[in-house]
Amino acid sequence: WKVLLVVSVVSYAVFAFDSKKTTREILDKWSAKAAKEYPDCVQSSGATQEEVDNFFQLQTRAVSPNVKCYIYCLFKSFKFINQDGTFNKDELVKDIEKATDEMIQFCATNFANETDPCAFTYGIADCALHYEHVYV
C-alpha cells in the first residue's frame, strides 16, 4: 500500500487530476505491489488477509489496530516514513497517483498530534482516499 494507498495508497510524479487511471486500477496496483514486495507486512501487523483485501478492494475504514499497523509497515517499506520515523510527504506525493502536496499536507496536518505511528499513517491513507472525493 504504498497505500494509498494507499493507499494509495495512492504513482509516478503525476499530480491530482492528471491521472487517467481509475481509483480501482490504482488500488489494485498497490495491493499487488504490497503483496509481492512486502508480504511480511500482513504477518508482522497481525492483520488478516480479509482485512487487507477489504481495505484495498472496498476502501473499508479500519477499526482494527492491526490494519492500521499493516499500513504503517507499508509506509515504512515504501519509504513514506524516513529512517528517523518522520513522515516523508514528498516521496508519497511522488509515488502515488492522484496524490498532491495540498492533499497530503491537509491529511498530515489533521493527524499531526497522533502519537501512535500506526494510527498516524492509517489516518493519512484513509484521509487521502476520501479527500474531496478524488479517489471515491
- What is the model's pLDDT at position 134? 54
- What is the model's pLDDT at position 19? 57
Rounded Cα gap, residues 86 and 117, in angstroms: 10
- pLDDT tens track, the chain, 136 positions: 333 333 333 333 333 444 577 777 888 888 888 888 888 999 999 999 999 888 888 776 767 899 999 999 999 999 999 999 899 999 999 988 888 899 999 999 999 999 999 999 999 998 888 886 555 4
Q: Are 62 and 116 in contact (CB under 8 A)?
A: no
Rounded Cα gap, residues 32 and 49, in angstroms: 13
Q: DSSP string of 26-85?
A: HHHHHHHHHHHH-THHHHHHT--HHHHHHHHHH-PPP--HHHHHHHHHHHHHTTSB-TTS
**93: preceding bond cis by omega (within 30 degrees):** no
- What is the model's pLDDT at position 6? 37
Rounded Cα gap, residues 68 and 61, in angstroms: 10
Tell me, yes or no, if the pTM score tops 0.85.
no
Query: Where do we find the cell 517499506?
Result: 77
> Domains in the chain, ordered, with CATH?
4-133 (1.10.238.20)
Give 134's contacts (C-beta < 8 A, 6+ positions apart): 16, 17, 98, 103, 128
